[in-house]
């Protein structure tokens, strides 16, 4: 029961939304005495908690509320260790003990597949991280118009929270980012204003291989590092080289587009090369600033191991790796099958996959840069029917048309690696009419303190 006190409400959190915020409902009477429902979204709350919240627009049907006081706390509530947690949008669950987060992620996967008619008992407990901090090998920070470096505020894309630390990024990455931030302040450089479309510095991308230790610092700016900026760029290169010998790639990337993305029209290498070396599963990879690679290498290795375990690859078999990227799954599987064909729409990723296969001495692969739906047809015609198919689509899923093409191709075994349990569940539903059965789903926590969860699943053709 909720009690209204002006614009202050006391209510109970019923459940969490997909972004990790609490949901509550308040019933009030309007001027005619008719009950009216007010739906509240309350960040930094947990299921079952009783909270006092401030509501700016109580007359609306749905609104966001700020928690003023936790009156009855969830037993798994803890103090968030990061000083930026209440404002920064990088994490949403630092106030929740890690075991509680894992249970919530398992429940999410079970609910998603149950909604499509699958047995939730097929879902195993989410595989945890032994050390759920400083796990990311890539971060993208944003500059505020005054030159401060940080991350976006929760729910406010235009507000940048200046950072002193980041507990989910690798420690050396944070140190490198803070050095760049200090250089910007000392030089009096301005950040990019998204409203006025003016200013110099837009983003800083930091990525580091946990295997090789090599680091990349990529600065995105609206101008080239010449003229008045040449001396400043030289100073940055010298101080990074002096303090961070592990930085093997220091880049200045020109981006004059209005879209707020880490893209580049021209690359300037201030020091080192334009890529770094990384390793996974014993295979070497070259990573450029725009290369997609798993951002949690510890847990990504578990994804690969699980995919191999569920896929049961054999040297006598053909395999298709759909949405193959730069070959994260392709290379370890290629060593275990007779032939492997990889399909990926991003041409630069396919070029990287080819190069990575060559660098690792793998010669039984064929990579095609094409949309998944059309690519399957082309590969089936030239490559033949595969016994094994792996797909690792984006969050939007593979889609019904692609899944039906997979069903008609009739591979004996399918391994689906997913970063979105909801689209995963709707995708695999498409395979049932073709005689496929879901046999196992293993969630893996790649992103502690966020709502995201990955899954590896095994799907087999019933004889």
Res 370 pLDDT > 90 = yes
Q: What is the pLDDT of residues 381-439, one digit of tens each?
A: 999 999 999 999 999 999 999 999 999 999 999 999 999 999 999 999 999 999 999 99
Res 445 pLDDT > 60 = yes
- Range 187-198 average pLDDT: 92
Give the per-residue pLDDT at 31.
67
Q: Tokens 């609910």 belong to which residue?
A: 111
- Which SS3 state, helix, strand or coil, does residue 444 take? strand
Res 455 pLDDT > 80 = yes
Which is more confidently placed, 67 or 158? 67
Give the per-residue pLDDT at 30.
66
- Range 132-144 average pLDDT: 96
Nearest to 82 by CA among 455, 454, 450, 382: 450
Res 314 pLDDT > 70 = yes
Angle CA(90)–CA(92)–CA(95) in degrees, nearest 5? Answer: 125
What CATH class does 138-280 carry?
Answer: mainly beta
Q: Cβ atoms within 10 A of the Cβ of 156, count?
A: 11
Residues 6+ apart with CB under 8 A from 213: 246
pLDDT band at residue 66 under the 50/70/90 scheme? confident
Give dist(CA 319, CA 428) in Å, integer: 19
Give dist(CA 297, CA 293) in Å, integer: 9
Mean pLDDT of all residues belonging to the chain? 93
Residue 458 dihedral angles phi and psi, to the nearest 5°: -110, 130
Give the per-residue pLDDT at 150.
92
CB 417 within 8 A of CB 390: yes
Which is more confidently placed, 130 or 38? 130
Q: What is the pLDDT of residues 5-35, one digit of tens each?
A: 457 889 999 999 999 999 999 887 766 777 7
Q: How would you class 79 by CB atoms within 10 Å of its CB: exposed for 0-12, middle for 13-18, buried for 19 or more?
A: exposed
Domain positions in the chain: 3-75, 103-130+294-461, 138-280
306: part of which helix (H) or strand (E)? helix 297-311
Residue 134 dihedral angles phi and psi, to the nearest 5°: 55, 45
Res 71 pLDDT > 70 = yes
- Range 84-107 average pLDDT: 94
End-to-end Cα spacing for the chain? 55
Q: What is the pLDDT of residues 246-280, one digit of tens each?
A: 999 999 999 988 677 777 789 999 999 999 999 99
Q: Which pair of tokens denotes residue 447?
A: 């992103």
Give the per-residue pLDDT at 89.
78
Give the per-residue pLDDT at 27.
82
The catalytic residues are 419
CATH 2.40.50.140 fits 3-75, yes or no: yes
Topology of domain 103-130+294-461, CATH: Rossmann fold (3.40.50)
> Would the CATH topology of 3-75 be identical to that of 138-280?
yes
Complete DSSP assignment for 395-463 = TT-S-HHHHHHHHHH--SEEEEEES-HHHHHHHHHTTGGGTEEEEEEEEE-SSTTSS--EEEEEEEE--
């Amino acid at each position: 029961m909720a009690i209204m006190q002006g614009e202050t409400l006391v209510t109970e959190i019923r459940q969490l939304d997909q972004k990790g915020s609490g949901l509550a409902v308040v019933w009030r009477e309007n001027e005619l005495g008719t009950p009216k429902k007010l739906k509240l979204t309350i960040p930094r709350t947990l299921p079952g908690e009783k909270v006092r919240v401030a509501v700016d627009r109580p007359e609306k049907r749905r609104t966001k509320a700020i928690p003023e006081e936790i009156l009855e706390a969830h037993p798994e509530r803890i103090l968030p260790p990061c000083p930026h947690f209440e404002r920064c949008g990088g994490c949403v669950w630092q106030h929740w003990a890690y075991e509680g987060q894992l249970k919530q992620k398992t429940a999410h996967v079970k609910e998603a597949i149950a909604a499509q008619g699958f047995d939730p008992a097929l879902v195993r407990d989410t595989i945890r991280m032994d050390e759920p901090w400083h796990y990311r090998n890539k971060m993208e920070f944003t500059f505020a118009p005054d030159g401060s470096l940080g991350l976006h505020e929760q729910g406010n894309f235009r507000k940048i929270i200046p950072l002193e630390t980041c507990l989910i990024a690798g420690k050396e990455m944070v140190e490198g980012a803070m050095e760049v931030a200090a250089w910007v302040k000392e030089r009096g450089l301005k950040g990019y204003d998204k409203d006025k479309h003016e200013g110099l510095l837009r983003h800083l991308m930091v990525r580091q291989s946990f295997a090789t230790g090599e680091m990349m610092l990529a600065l995105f700016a609206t101008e080239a590092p010449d003229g008045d900026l040449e001396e400043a760029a030289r100073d940055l290169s010298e101080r990074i080289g002096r303090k961070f010998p592990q930085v093997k790639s220091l880049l200045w990337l020109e981006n004059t587009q209005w879209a707020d993305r880490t893209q580049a029209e021209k690359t300037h290498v201030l020091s080192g090369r334009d890529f770094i070396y990384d390793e996974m599963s014993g295979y070497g990879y070259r990573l450029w600033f725009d290369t997609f690679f798993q951002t949690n290498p510890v847990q990504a290795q578990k994804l690969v191991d699980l995919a191999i375990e569920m896929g049961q690859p054999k040297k006598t078999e053909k395999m298709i790796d759909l949405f193959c990227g730069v070959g994260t799954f392709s290379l370890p599987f290629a060593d275990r099958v007779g032939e492997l064909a990889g399909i990926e729409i991003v041409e630069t990723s396919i070029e990287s996959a080819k190069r990575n296969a060559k660098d690792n001495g793998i010669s039984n692969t064929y990579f095609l840069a094409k949309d998944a739906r059309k690519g399957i047809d082309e590969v089936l015609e030239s490559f033949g029917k595969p016994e094994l198919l792996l797909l690792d689509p984006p969050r939007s899923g593979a889609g019904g048309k692609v899944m039906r093409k997979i069903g008609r191709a009739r591979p004996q075994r399918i391994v689906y690696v997913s970063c979105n349990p909801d689209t995963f569940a709707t995708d695999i539903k498409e395979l049932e009419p073709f005689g496929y059965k879901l046999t196992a789903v293993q969630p893996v926590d790649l992103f502690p303190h966020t709502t995201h969860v990955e899954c590896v699943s095994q799907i087999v053709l019933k004889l």
